[in-house]
Amino acid sequence: MIVLDKENRVFTLHTRRSTYQMKADSYGVLLHTYYGPRVDCGDLSCLLQYTDRSFSPNPNAAGDCRTYSLDVLPREYAASGGGDFRLPALEVEGPSGSHTASLRYSGAEVCRGKYGLEGLPAFFGGEDDADTLVVRLEDKALRLCVELYYGVFEEHDLITRAVRVVNRGGEAVRLHQAASLCLELPGGGWDFITFDGRHVMERCPSRAPLRPGVQSVGSVRGTSSHQHNPFVVLCEQDAGEEHGLCYGAMLLYSGNFEAAAERSQFETTRLVLGIHPYHFCWTLMPGEAFTAPETALVCSPDGLGPMSRRFHRAIRAHLLRDPWQGRCKPVLVNSWEAAYFDFDAERLVELARAAAPLGIGLFVLDDGWFGERDSDLAGLGDWTVNQRKLPGGLERLVPRIQALGMDFGLWVEPEMVNEDSALYRAHPDWVLAVPGRAPARGRCQLVLDFSRQEVRDHVYGALKAVLSSADISYVKWDMNRSLTDVWSAALPPEQQGEVYHRYVLGVYSMLEQLRRDFPHILIEGCSGGGGRFDGGMLYYTPQIWCSDNTDAVDRLRIQYGTSFCYPPCTMGAHVSAVPNEQTGRCAPLETRGAVALAGTFGYEMDLGKITPEERAVIAEQVETYKAHWALLREGDYYRLTDPFREGPYTAWAHVSPDRREALVELVTGSTHAALPFTNLRLRGLDPELRYRVNGGESWPGGVLMAAGYPIPLFSGDYQTLQLFLEAE
């Protein structure tokens, strides 16, 4: 719900449990007055305090009043210059070379439904789901208009923000920074939680108190990266899973980003989130506009767990565009770890024939099916079927797979090219490369310049021909290196600061075209696993390969960290063979299945080489997934333990929205002698209901949450326990 008080220029956004408010003051400065637990009252600018602060300048309009300074007031969208020395959200270079902007309120309006963003991902909602507030600010000297967009999803406690900058002047201006979010919070005693790591160990939570000054994470790799994620949390220092005030902020963007929090000299906090200013400079000609990516906010007064579940529900309902929405997705098997580049049609049919009797419904052909692709040294970019490996092409192979009762999927990596390829030999100028310098390689690949329409048209035309040649129901879109040598032959020198962002817009454009032309195809995102796991990609690819690390024990941590924002149904998770390829660890098949079941669920192994006993376990795992797919997709997710802390086990639960069913999974750590007895306290149940556990004993919900469920003693490392609870 949005309350617009135009007379007093107060704008209030209400969700079920939170309130967000701003006010344009007598000088036209848009101030942030409140964001926190819901309060039903009027103007909250009474919370603002004014005093004379030395070395904090006063705007000229304030005259001799020394108690009014932009350096200390909470601003809704702060521009550089003008006496505010904290983090700016907007930095504009005017025709004179000045980097000062003075934004003042010029109008506001409310409309039903959720705003959209041309060419960019955004949450969606109709008139019954969401409302939109638009607040306009203006720099009269530059004739620059800044439009602030707010979307309110009341039932999901979600508020979205986006920014559009319009040049209404007669000369060009240059944007050096145009952040999507500027959020002011009172006090400086917050913890800053970021989600960090590296390839094959992504999104590990890192939590520390804010210190005076600026703390930031970000990416300048051209993608959101394995190293840091564009989702961060500010929370009270004693906040936990079920208590404490928490603010989550997610950027829906898949390129360079920065999340910076500043604890000011007067113990206030400003969070700025958006496109990284590194190598960013966007020229706005007269009449042109620039739109910054969307951010999404959740305020949870009752802990990190409820914050996560609100993000999960909103993402599932208003961000994912999944062709399998409301239906049970087939369990997939991927050919990579079974065959790598060494296969032909008969080998692929053999792999599928081993999987089909187990109930697996989707066979995915990974790398190596195109061009002269026998290793990662050649062929990338040549999107035609390798007839030597697959005589007759996909037109002949796919019906053979379908005859086994399986759908067919395909791996692609459209953004990259090998120098040993027909595409590169024909168009060497189509890659990102600085004139006079040999570009750096990554995985023996160069990066195609997706900021250029002709490059995208060529690649997409080739892919469209392949996808039209057979009945393909799944595409895995991979991207296996970071961007270097970022220079485009299509832009003049003064616009090279636009290449990173234009590249991302190009990726989004091609993905949107793929969705329009093949609406039935499920697209799974990937970038060396989790290098581009962000809200922007989820808008186009409703699931993302969570990590190239398929070791079940490591995945406990990776999926735990990912779950703070992203729902389990978006996490690509597969069972792989042991010893594990990344770690060499041997975990039981039952445990590998339990961990993968917390994600999209599939297999990454040669199912023709397993024992009869293992085949029975896998068939049971597939049946478990099919029996509980709705609970796994739509249920509320509870982190019952923290795998980053030493403990005897890691546990989590999926609970149905009506709290009548729950699926609980537990994985032990390394075993020790004479282990103590322990109970696992559950969450999310109805304390007034009784639950039958695995079809046997009946337990009161209140007891299971307060006292817990007795955990049996296990023999051996990394054992698993699965509990299915059903209300009587």
* pLDDT tens-digit series, residues 528-539: 999 999 999 999
- Quick: pLDDT tens for 487-526: 999 999 999 999 999 999 999 999 999 999 999 999 999 9
Q: Quickly list H helices, 336-378.
A: 336-339, 345-355
Among this protein's residues, is 613 annotated catalytic?
no
| 552-563 residue pLDDT tens | 999 999 999 999
Confidence of residue 441 (pLDDT cuts 50, 70, 90): very high
- Is the Cβ–Cβ distance between 679 and 709 less than 8 Å? yes
Cα distances from 118 to residues 112, 293, 315, 456, 508, in angstroms, run: 18, 10, 19, 18, 11
How is residue 272 written in tokens?
Answer: 């700025």
pTM for the full predicted model: 0.97
pLDDT range class, residue 550, cuts 50, 70, 90: very high
Strand runs (DSSP E) across 464-580, as ranges?
Answer: 474-477, 522-525, 543-545, 571-572, 574-576
Contact 708, 651 (CB under 8 A): no
Helix (H, G, I), strand (E, B) or coil at 710: strand
- Predicted confidence at residue 630, as pLDDT, reads 97
Q: How far apart are CA 549 and CA 564, in angstroms?
A: 19
What's the angle, vertex CA 352, arms to CA 346 and CA 356, rounded to 5? 145
SS3 content of the chain, % helix, strand, coil (to 5): 20, 30, 45
Q: Is the dihedral of CA 599, 600, 604, 607 positive or negative?
A: positive
Is 17 within 8 Å of 157 (Cβ atoms)?
A: yes
As a whole number, the mean pLDDT across the chain is 97
- Entry field: residues in the chain: 728
Pick the catalytic residue: 294, 534, 551, 665? 534
667 pLDDT band (50/70/90 cuts)?
very high
Q: Would you call 661 a catalytic residue per the annotation? A: no
Distances (CA, A) of 720 to 569, 646, 723: 21, 17, 10
- d(C-alpha 231, C-alpha 209), whole Å: 17
What pairs with residue 148 in β-bridges?
Answer: 135, 163
- Please identify which of the residues 109, 395, 454, 614 carries the catalytic annotation: 614
Q: Locate 563 and state its tokens.
A: 């779950």
- pLDDT computed for residue 452 by the predictor: 98
pLDDT for the residue 675: 85
pLDDT bucket at 347, cuts 50 / 70 / 90 = very high
Binned at pLDDT 50, 70 and 90, residue 646 comes out as: confident
- Provide the edge-to-edge strand list for the sheet that holds 90-93: 90-93, 173-178, 282-284
What is the rounded distance in angstroms from the CA atom of residue 559 to the CA atom of residue 572? Answer: 10
How far is Cα of residue 121 from the mean position of the Cα atoms in its chain?
11
Distance (Å) of CA 706 to CA 179, 393, 684, 700, 701: 45, 60, 11, 10, 9
Q: Is 460 left (phi over 0), alpha (psi -120 to 50) or beta?
A: alpha
How many distinct helices (H) and strands (E) make up the chain?
Answer: 12, 39
Please answer whether residues 332 and 360 qualify as being in contact, where contact means their C-beta atoms are separated by less than 8 angstroms: yes
